[in-house]
Amino acid sequence: MFSTLAEMSVASRLAPFGSTVFTEITALARAHGAVDLGQGYPTWEGPDFVKEAAIEAIRHASNQYPPSMGIAELREAIARRWLTDTGMSVDPDTEITVTSGCTEALAATFLGLFEPGDEVILFEPVYDAYPVGCALSGAVPRYVTLHHPGFRLRADELEAAVTSRTRAVLVNTPHNPTGRVFDRAELAAVADLCRRHDLVAITDEVYERMVYDGEHLRLATFPGMWERTLTLSSIGKSFSLTGWKTGWAIGPEHLTAAVRAAHQFLTFTTPNPMQHGAAAALAAPEDYYVELVAGYRRRRDLLTAGLAELGFEVTVPEGAYYVLADHTRFGFADDVTFVHHLIEDVGVAAIPPSAFYPVSDEGRRLVRFAFCKDEATLGEALRRMQRLRS
Ligand SMILES: Cc1ncc(COP(=O)(O)O)c(C=O)c1O
């Protein structure tokens, strides 16, 4: 009886995912003293004005349960930001939910919206929380590949993925790990598909501020899309506070109600002081973002130029903070073998992207480097990788 129960459990549905590739690579990197360009967290701290706001909140007794939907100050700050960015008004009481990071917003979305057997279109390379969201909710992922080297979204392949069971499409832009910032034509194709097949759109915009070429476009602002789109994001990346896990979901009342139904019993709410910090973060002047982007652009250019010089074939990322580089020139069988060599013999950690390709084998020729690392760290990694030449 126990084994039957276990087979039906969430644990068994999650078993195929094992531990994340990040956990394994981080442990291996530590064991070998490798410079870590693997996991996507910055080597520097978030801004003081945000940390001070959270400290003030702790000192002044904002330490009890906040409302499940999030404190009013943060929901209002999110609404103001949305108005500035899109020109659209959003109701902080019925259309915004604060969550414990974008990760919880994703889980609440999957659990709140889907029945077992519903199909969700995902793009590969895929961020691991999406197939896990499917496994949690019983939804079935249908993958559309963003093909190397351009990683463009192809409307014909998107259309071919639709069946009578399709309920939603999930778009991550700027995209981890390709660095794509989807352009107007690509997002218009998604919007068109959603309208014609009556699909929900879920967008993961955690890298919304990290755009170096092109423009961050929000699917929710395309004609007819507000009513069917949930926009998910968080402060982790934009404010170099990945450990804060403070995010949100924005969408029309009927979709917000579904997110809140699950969120209420997943975490109920998000730590109160961090919400005060996040509200301060979202009031940051434009200068803050200008500086953030300038720093990231410098680091991107340093890493991509260095990798190209070493012999990698590099697709320069338009956004986010990762580079996918083609390692085939160095003669290794696949990405996992190459990354092991890189960590154990060269002393640099990176991520083997085949973990992000559930369907195609296009990830085997690639390796992902993160450039949310200070310039000294990037420089040291490039110096060590000179060994690849011999
Ligand atoms: C595409 C994407 N979505 C979501 C997350 C997680 O966001 P959060 O830390 O706010 O839960 C990450 C973190 O790496 C990510 O890369």
Distance 36 CA to ligand 1 centre (A): 18
Distance 164 CA to ligand 1 centre (A): 30
Contact 204, 343 (CB under 8 A): no
Task: For ligand 1, say whether the CB of 204 is within 6 Å of any of its atoms.
Answer: yes
Q: Is the pLDDT of residue 275 over 80?
A: yes
Question: What is the rounded CA–CA span in Å between residue 250 and residue 82?
Answer: 9
Task: For ligand 1, say whether the CB of 368 is within 6 Å of any of its atoms.
Answer: no
Q: Long-range contacts for 76-84 (Cβ within 8 Å, ≥24 apart)?
A: 76/279, 77/278, 77/279, 77/282, 77/283, 78/248, 78/250, 78/282, 80/282, 80/283, 81/282, 82/250
Domain covering 2-45+287-389: architecture: Alpha-Beta Complex (3.90)
- Ligand 1: atom nearest CA of 233 is 10
SS3 label, residue 36? strand
Centre a 10 Å sphere on the Cβ of residue 21 and count the other Cβ atoms it contains: 21
Distance 2 CA to ligand 1 centre (A): 35
Would you tell me which CATH number, out of the four given (3.40.640.10, 2.60.40.1730, 3.30.1370.100, 1.10.1060.10), belongs to the domain 48-282? 3.40.640.10
Q: pTM of this prediction?
A: 0.96
Question: What is the rounded CA–CA span in Å between residue 292 and residue 294?
Answer: 6
Task: For ligand 1, say whether the CB of 173 is within 6 Å of any of its atoms.
Answer: no
Q: What is the pLDDT of residue 23?
A: 84
Task: For ligand 1, say whether the CB of 127 is within 6 Å of any of its atoms.
Answer: yes
- Ligand 1: atom nearest CA of 40 is 14
Instruction: Name the residue of 20, 102, 106 to mutate for ligand 1: max ligand atoms within 8 A of Cβ.
Output: 102
Q: Is the pLDDT of residue 6 over 70?
A: no
Q: Residue 268 — left, alpha, or beta (φ > 0 → left; ψ -120 to 50 → alpha)?
A: left
pLDDT for 286-315, tens place per residue?
Answer: 999 999 999 999 999 999 999 999 999 999
| Residues counted in the chain | 390
- Ligand 1: atom nearest CA of 247 is 10
Contact 168, 382 (CB under 8 A): no
Q: Long-range contacts for 378-382 (Cβ within 8 Å, ≥24 apart)?
A: 378/37, 378/299, 378/302, 378/303, 378/306, 379/302, 380/35, 381/35, 381/37, 381/348, 382/302, 382/303, 382/306, 382/307, 382/310
**Backbone Cα Rg of the chain:** 21
Q: At what angle do helices 101-113 and 253-266 cross, to 10 degrees?
A: 110
Question: What is the rounded CA–CA span in Å between residue 373 and residue 299?
Answer: 8
Instruction: Name the residue of 181, 206, 248 to mutate for ligand 1: max ligand atoms within 8 A of Cβ.
Output: 206
Write down the domain spans for the chain: 2-45+287-389, 48-282
Those residues whose C-beta lies under 8 Å from the C-beta of residue 176, and which sit 6 or more positions away, are 40, 127, 207, 320, 322
Question: What is the rounded CA–CA span in Å between residue 86 and residue 321?
Answer: 24
Q: What mean pLDDT is reported for the chain?
A: 95
Task: For ligand 1, say whether the CB of 296 is within 6 Å of any of its atoms.
Answer: no
Instruction: Name the residue of 106, 170, 175, 176 to mutate for ligand 1: max ligand atoms within 8 A of Cβ.
Output: 176
pLDDT for 158-208, tens place per residue?
Answer: 999 999 999 999 999 999 999 999 999 999 999 999 999 999 999 999 999
DSSP annotation string for 10-29 = HHHHHGGG-S-HHHHHHHHH
